Every structure is written in C-alpha cells, then in structure tokens.
Amino acid sequence: MPVHWQERLAELPDVLRSRSKPRTVILLGDLAIGGDEFVTIAGPCSVETKVQLLSTADRVSRAGARVLRGGAFKPRSSPYSFQGLGAEGLKLLALARERTGLAIVTEVMSECDVSLVAEYADILQIGSRNMENSTLLAAAACAGKPILLKRGMVATVTDLLRAAQCIVSYGNPNVMLCERGIRTFDTTTRNTFDAAAIAILKQVTHLPVICDPSHACGNRDLVPALARIGVSAGADGMIVEVHPAPEQAWSDGEQSLGFDGFESMVADLRPWIELNRSLRSKQSKAEQVEAMQ
Ligand code: PEP
Ligand code: MN
C-alpha cells in the first residue's frame, strides 16, 4: 500500500490491507465474496409482488447471479412514493431464496428493524443515506450477518472506510464496501461513478469491494459501460437492478435492466472479468515474491 495512505488511514487499523491481511473473504454457504469469483448481485430495486420477485430471481439466477437484491424497506426522497412492503417483502425474499438457492441482500434502515431483517436476509445492506448512522451501524454489526455498506452520496473514501472501521470494531469483520456514485456538480447522470475509489480501495483495504453501476448513473443504457469500468477497476462483484418490466417498476425503473439486457451484459462482461482475474493473480504473485525478499 502507498505509504502516504498508510499514514492517512492510521486511525483505521482494522480495515487496512497489509501483508499479513491481504484480503477478507466472506463465506456464505458455497459462495465466497472477495475471493477469486466475481460475484453478481442482481434483482429489483423494490420487492413489489410475488410474481415480480420470483420471475426475476429465476432469470438472474440462470444468468449467473449468486445473490438476489430487493428492497423491502425503501429510503425514498418523497413521503408520497412507495415505501416498500416491509415484512411482507422480507417473506417474499425468503421464498425466492428457497426456490433458487440465491443468497438474499436487503436494506435495513432503522436499528429497530435489524432483528426482523436479519431473520430473513443473508446480507444486511446499509444504504447510502445511512452510511454514517452510527446507531444503525452498531445494531447491524451485532446481528452477526455480513454487511454491504454503501458509500454515502457525499462521503469521501476515508469516510466510507471510517464507517467500515466502526462495524469491524463492533465485532463484525464481514463488511463489503460499495461504490454507488457520489453527488457532484454534474447532474447529467444521477450520480458520478467514482472508479478511482474502487481502485484505491482495492489497494488500501482488505475488505471486498462491490460496484453499483445502476445507482451510479440512473440510466439503464449506461449500466453495462459502468459495470465494465467497475470490473476493470478491480471490483470483487457488482450489484445491479433488474426488473421484469422496468418501465412499470415501482422505484428506480429508469436504471433497471430488463431480463434480456441483464443477460447480455453478464455475457459481455466475461472477458473483462477474466482479464482482471489474470491481472490480479499476477499482482498477488509479485506481492508474494516481494514479501519473501
Ligand atoms: C438501493 O440499493 O436501492 C438504494 C436505495 O441504494 P442507495 O442507498 O445506494 O441509494
Ligand atoms: Mn434502487
């Protein structure tokens, strides 16, 4: 790791990458996140209906996704927008897991809901708007489930690592960091995808890094390009919004891929994933040689 980063991040010892701790691999059944496999997480922004969720779970699973996403508790900008199905949505996610074997990730927005969400989810998502909610971080950390921590939309990379340090310091080492775009002056896209954040995180932390090309751009036509960039920057996986009929989605339809779009994106990404895998193994061999000298 570059020395100046080591100095800047000295207050975050538990998340820093070192020779003795080059990476954290999060194990979920036969799935390893942060290992050699690029992990695809896919599903709708919100859980809406049984048919919507199960049909999406079937299709993304067949296309190679390993984790199903879907919000049951939704952070919405307007109080008049759909706020999520709550407990009913969690039950549908559990049904989809039973049917497909996919692991489940879903957002928890309040410390009051942590135990309920943890009953159903395999991974707890902490959303962008809650990255610095330390009460929620503490409660989620203590639930004993891996955590997908999304970067706050106005958070620096150091802020993200600080939030991860909080979770690890509460006794939960299984944290994945998610780059989902940040707010900048440019409103052409919903957010600005910070590819450099992925590259630097891969250098400075041992925690797995996941890219979210959907929220980063807010436009389905741009999602495949951003996914390629995420893979090339070294991400360990991606989280993508997929919906059976994106134009009718109850939230984030503009950025959701349809089934065909998702399938072709996954197929097109394969050579990029392979290339990144071989670069990574070259790099880790070089590090081993350096460590022996
Ligand atoms: C989501 O994943 O649907 C979501 C609300 O994400 P974010 O917290 O990144 O906005
Ligand atoms: Mn969404």
User: Could you read off the pLDDT of 211-262 as tens digits, one per residue?
Assistant: 999 999 999 999 999 999 999 999 999 999 999 999 999 999 999 999 999 9
Quick check: 2 pLDDT over 80?
no
- The residue with tokens 């639930």 is 143
Quick check: 278 pLDDT over 90?
yes
Provide the pLDDT for residue 95: 98
Provide the pLDDT for residue 230: 98
Quick check: 91 pLDDT over 80?
yes
Average pLDDT rounded to a whole number, residues 9-15: 92
Please indicate whether residue 215, judged by its CB atom, sits closer than 6 Å to ligand 1: yes
For the chain, strand residue ranges (E) read 26-28, 31-33, 39-43, 67-69, 103-107, 123-126, 147-150, 175-179, 209-211, 237-241
Assigned token pair, 254: 């503009």
Ligand with an atom nearest the CA of residue 212: 1
Residue closest by Cα to atom 6 of ligand 1: 127
Give the Å distance between the CA of 2 and the centre of ligand 2.
35
More confident residue, 61 or 3: 61
Provide the pLDDT for residue 77: 87
Average pLDDT rounded to a whole number, residues 41-54: 98
Please indicate whether residue 71, judged by its CB atom, sits closer than 6 Å to ligand 1: yes
Could you tell me the pTM of the whole model?
A: 0.97
Domain 3-292: CATH superfamily, name plus number:
Aldolase class I (3.20.20.70)
Exposed (0-12), middle (13-18) or buried (19+): which is 41, by Cβ within 10 Å? buried
Provide the pLDDT for residue 6: 78
Ligand 1 atom nearest 130 alpha carbon: 8
Give the Å distance between the CA of 252 and the centre of ligand 2.
5
Give the strand pairing for 67-69 and 31-33: unpaired
Assigned token pair, 7: 């100095």
Provide the pLDDT for residue 265: 98
Average pLDDT rounded to a whole number, residues 53-74: 98
For ligand 1, pick from 215, 251, 252 the residue to mutate: most ligand atoms within 8 Å of CB: 215
Provide the pLDDT for residue 292: 81
Provide the pLDDT for residue 201: 98
Give the Å distance between the CA of 20 and the centre of ligand 2.
37
Cα–Cα distance measured from residue 121 to residue 233, given in angstroms and rounded to the nearest whole number: 28
Please indicate whether residue 180, judged by its CB atom, sits closer than 6 Å to ligand 1: yes
Ligand with an atom nearest the CA of residue 131: 1
For ligand 1, pick from 82, 123, 131, 150 the residue to mutate: most ligand atoms within 8 Å of CB: 150
Give the Å distance between the CA of 293 and the centre of ligand 1.
45
3-state SS class at 96: helix
Ligand 1 atom nearest 212 alpha carbon: 9
Ligand 1 atom nearest 128 alpha carbon: 8
Provide the pLDDT for residue 284: 85
pLDDT cut 70: percent of the chain above it: 99
Average pLDDT rounded to a whole number, residues 249-277: 98
Please indicate whether residue 213, judged by its CB atom, sits closer than 6 Å to ligand 1: no
Please indicate whether residue 152, judged by its CB atom, sits closer than 6 Å to ligand 1: no
Q: Hey, what amino acid is at 223? A: V
8 Å CB contact between 112 and 67: no
Model confidence at 293, pLDDT cuts 50, 70, 90, reads: confident
Quick check: 190 pLDDT over 80?
yes
Condensed to tens digits (0 to 9), the pLDDT of residues 144-179 reads 999 999 999 999 999 999 999 999 999 999 999 999
Quick check: 1 pLDDT over 80?
no
Please indicate whether residue 90, judged by its CB atom, sits closer than 6 Å to ligand 1: no
Provide the pLDDT for residue 291: 80
Residue boundaries of the structural domains of the chain? 3-292
Average pLDDT rounded to a whole number, residues 84-108: 98
Average pLDDT rounded to a whole number, residues 103-118: 98
Please indicate whether residue 75, judged by its CB atom, sits closer than 6 Å to ligand 1: yes
3-state SS class at 106: strand
